[in-house]
Structure 1
């Protein structure tokens, strides 16, 4: 059986210090797991004057995501899910929004880099489940187009990619049409 759990030397009696993550990592070799699960979350403020890009597709709407890059809430979320499954830093640390080279960047760049890191570690995507949350625009008519584009981008079979669209029942900034969000869960499989 594979496990991320590791047994570390107990602290000396009377010592309440727990070894830091870095210290524990140095003590044990990282496990090679057959599967790794990652979760991504992203939320962007909606504002006039920006295009609404979701999953690499331009969605007709009066507002778009206010962001340093193109603000693609789905691709940011997918990137974070891949990075999370690999126990790597999040998208904001790898592609900081204060770096001018990412200004207006297409978010497929972030996904491609996360996939490269994933392949370098010997994994491939088993399946992916994404939930888009927006009061408006209605995203259900665009789900298949978004899914098709994501499948092509990730070289995945459509049966392994799920896109769901929900409203937020007019609650909080999403429900008041001031923001859009996404959750993604991903399963990585050892090649």
Structure 2
């Protein structure tokens, strides 16, 4: 059994879609990034890569590579899944939290869980997603950006 942790943050800007866990969320701003800037999926990818001692998403999907411009982060997660399988690992569980003052995310969490589970070949009950505010403190509290943390466990697929 191995454990990994991931973290990501992106700035909120106008004229971008807000995508979290592969779900398009109606909001007046979206996250700025080279890809779709899905902080939840990015945190999960970093947790998985970390658990397998395979580096981080910047090494595998550099932000200067035009191949990843605007890419759906769930497609990148599928590539991480394939790398783990190739190295002999299976994902046990994911526990993640999105840190955002707004918008309210509770209605979208079931779809986020389903997306992550589907891509990783897991049961939805093995994936947990939570959302929290920062009580108006820090960059998230001021509405400047959104962050996400993820913890995962993986095991050798023997």
TM-score norm. by structure 2 comes to 0.96
Q: Which runs of 5+ in 2 are unaligned?
A: none
Deviations 1:121-180 (A, max 9, x none): 111011110101100001112111211222212121122110111001101110001100
In the alignment, what sits opposite 1:46? 12
In the alignment, what sits opposite 2:143? 177
Q: Which runs of 5+ in 1 are unaligned?
A: 1-34
Output the aligned Cα RMSD. 0.9
1:138 matched to 2:99: no
How far apart, in 1, do the equivalents of 2:67 and 2:97 lie?
29
Aligned residue pairs, count: 157
In the alignment, what sits opposite 1:187? 153
In the alignment, what sits opposite 1:66? 32
Following TM superposition, by how much is the alpha carbon of 1:109 offset from its aligned partner in structure 2, in angstroms?
Answer: 2.1
Partner SS, residue 114 of structure 2: helix
In the alignment, what sits opposite 2:49? 83
Partner SS, residue 77 of structure 2: helix
Structure with greater contact order relative to length (CA < 8 Å, sep ≥ 6): 2
Higher mean C-alpha displacement, 44-53 vs 149-158: 149-158
In the alignment, what sits opposite 2:21? 55
How far apart, in 1, do the equivalents of 2:121 and 2:59 lie?
26
1:23-38 matches, cutoff 5 A: 35-38=1-4
Please tell me whether Structure 1 or Structure 2 has the larger radius of gyration of its CA atoms: 1
How far apart, in 2, do the equivalents of 1:68 and 1:185 lie?
24
Partner SS, residue 113 of structure 2: helix
Give the 4+ runs in structure 1 shifted more than 6 A. Answer: none
TM-score norm. by structure 1 comes to 0.80
